[in-house]
Structure 1
Amino acid sequence: MNQPTESDREVKVGVLSALGAFIIWGLSPLYYRAIGEAPALEIIAHRAIWSLLFTLLMVGFSGQIRVFISLFRDYKIQLILLLSSLLVSVNWLGFIWAVNNGKALEASMGYFIMQIVMVLLGRLFLDERLNRNQIISLLLVCLGVLNLLVAIRQLPWIALLLAISFGFYSLVRKKVAVNALVGLTMECLFLAPLALVYLLFLNHQETLVFGSREIGFDLLLIGSGLMTALPLILFTSASKRLRLGTVGLLQYLNPTCQFLLAVFLFDEPFSAHHLNTFILIWACLAIFTLDSRNRMKRESLARKLTGMP
């Protein structure tokens, strides 16, 4: 019987890490519903503060303190991460509001179409050319959104907000060569002072939920920091060990879990018009994923033929 090689073990760890990250993200609506008594802005404030604590600990344990400190000497990187922190806070706020206001289905739609939005942003801002399959994918997404707009006179603004905000976040983060953990730590450092001021304001107004419920509720609010940091660490681990195409395929576990929760557990409205829209989106993703895999195979073959690693 063949013993597993080091490469096999690395792939196994990578797959398990990716599954852990995407399942945690996918099931996160359950967590944020459990603390839904707190307003979305208060949850975001706690998320920023406690995420900073957890990410600082992880930066320390992973031996990246010097890398983190070096960011304070580069004002350009700080400005870029300040912008990305604002974008990610918009994404967090939109998602938590959606989950606690009967819009988890629409949130899942946003994360399904996120990759397509990122391709479009790449075309608009990075001058990346679109091939035929990518154009077809974009058209299918547009048809899906248009279907909801015409059929039920409702623009899926939450889906668009989540997809566009994270798309711009990814676009901005491409401008800096900073790993995910160190970057998130700096982003939380920018958000934490504003978050703390907001919590102090709520406390002064006697509307702060933290501390007014049982200890278990407060611990869940604190745990929102770990809910932010842990899947990111797992995702980073997976990205180092797996091919981009594998990670891209597994990432659809996240919106799939959210979709199933919204329809079967949260019992959100799911009409034939919603089904038609999702069918168009899933068709788009099938075309997009197959196209990405084929391009990666061609690029891999080209590297082998030219002797490149």
Structure 2
Amino acid sequence: MARGERAAGSGGLLFGVGAYGAWGLFPGFFPLLKPAGAAEILAHRIVWMALLMLVVVAALRRLGDLRRITGRVWLLLAAASALISANWVIYIYAVNNGHVVDAALGYFINPLVSVALGVVIFRESLNRAQGFALLLAVAAVVILTLELGAPPWISLGLALSFGFYGLVKKVVPTDPRVSVGVEAGLAAPFALVFILVGMSAGQQAFLSNGPWHTALMIASGAVTAIPLLLFAAAAQRLPLVSLGLLMYLTPVMQLSWGVFIGREPMPPARWLGFALIWVALAVFTADAIYRSRRPPPAALTP
């Protein structure tokens, strides 16, 4: 491997660990924003992130990309904006209401949801290992449903919203940094109206809990944008298999936070559901690594 490739790989690894590690620490950040509710936190997260991304895109001299976005791509980016906003508000609600373990489960399930969406939407074929992994994931969800007395809606909501978000992003031919900025920009007017209406009615915590709380609410934009930018940098430098393996860092950190710091209950049935998900992910990951290292079939010679 050339020196430049090794440098790019090590840099990509640092970017990836930075992105997924930051996401793994989110359960410690969002409770600091109480007594603001999930909707208010989401609104501020969107507005301040949109302002930051405007600066970033301008600094990168990519504002001209906006003129080249077609109507179809604008619609896709609007869908992506709605999906990631839904994902964020579910996540904020989860970590601020003692459901960090459920959030971790959602991101453990997410890779398997992405595989299922590939089969349903893109008619991708499943091999035996992938099919077995999906069956294990379904069994885990059934066990968790029986244990909870209801489907794990938070976990499923996070997995499905982020899965469909990834599906939309797969077909958006826009620079990732520009698309993230556009997604925040499209949601920003709605978020700003929500903030202003709430402030006029005296129902916002933004300015009523001291300067430290206000500063943290503003910082939520940077806290949101920086991991996304690190992830975009990692995606440009790392193979997809390496990026996929790093992805498990986030839910592992979240699960550890929920169990050891949040002291959330983990009855045996819940551990069994998680164990089945982990086995499914191990099968899925081993299959992905094997296929990535297998040499391509030799071309037929006449």
CA distance, structure 2, for counterparts of residue 154 and residue 262 of structure 1: 20
CA distance, structure 2, for counterparts of residue 152 and residue 66 of structure 1: 50
CA distance, structure 1, for counterparts of residue 105 and residue 272 of structure 2: 12
CA distance, structure 2, for counterparts of residue 47 and residue 64 of structure 1: 23
**2:139 alignment counterpart:** 143
CA distance, structure 1, for counterparts of residue 32 and residue 220 of structure 2: 11
Matches within 5 A, 1:97-176: 97-176=93-172
CA distance, structure 2, for counterparts of residue 212 and residue 261 of structure 1: 29
C-alpha deviation, 1:68, in angstroms:
3.1
Gaps of 5+ in 2: none
Q: Is the 8 A contact 2:102 2:155 kept in 1?
A: yes
**1:89 alignment counterpart:** 85
Task: Please tell me the residue identity of whatever aligns with 1:113.
Answer: I
- Residue deviations 1:259-307 (CA, integer Å, cap 9, x gap): 0000000111111111111100000000000011111112xx217x55x
CA distance, structure 2, for counterparts of residue 32 and residue 145 of structure 1: 27
CA distance, structure 2, for counterparts of residue 19 and residue 234 of structure 1: 9
Q: How many residues align?
A: 299
Is residue 62 from structure 1 mapped to residue 60 from structure 2 by the alignment? yes
CA distance, structure 2, for counterparts of residue 27 and residue 69 of structure 1: 37
Q: Is the 8 A contact 1:22 1:254 kept in 2?
A: yes
Match of 1:302 among 289, 296, 299: 296
**1:5 alignment counterpart:** 3
C-alpha deviation, 1:190, in angstroms:
0.9
Tell me the TM-score normalised to structure 2 length: 0.96
Is residue 212 from structure 1 mapped to residue 208 from structure 2 by the alignment? yes
Tell me the TM-score normalised to structure 1 length: 0.94
SS at match of 2:126: coil
Q: Is the 8 A contact 2:147 2:270 kept in 1?
A: no
C-alpha deviation, 1:154, in angstroms:
3.1
CA RMSD of aligned residues (A): 1.4
Q: Is the 8 A contact 1:180 1:232 kept in 2?
A: no
Which piece of structure 1 moves more, 180-189 or 38-47? 180-189
Percent identity between the two aligned chains: 38
Gaps of 5+ in 1: none
Task: Please tell me the residue identity of whatever aligns with 1:153.
Answer: G
**1:23 alignment counterpart:** 21
CA distance, structure 1, for counterparts of residue 7 and residue 76 of structure 2: 37
**2:265 alignment counterpart:** 269
**2:174 alignment counterpart:** 178
Task: Please tell me the residue identity of whatever aligns with 2:221.
Answer: G
C-alpha deviation, 1:103, in angstroms:
0.7
CA distance, structure 1, for counterparts of residue 148 and residue 30 of structure 2: 28
CA distance, structure 2, for counterparts of residue 63 and residue 242 of structure 1: 24
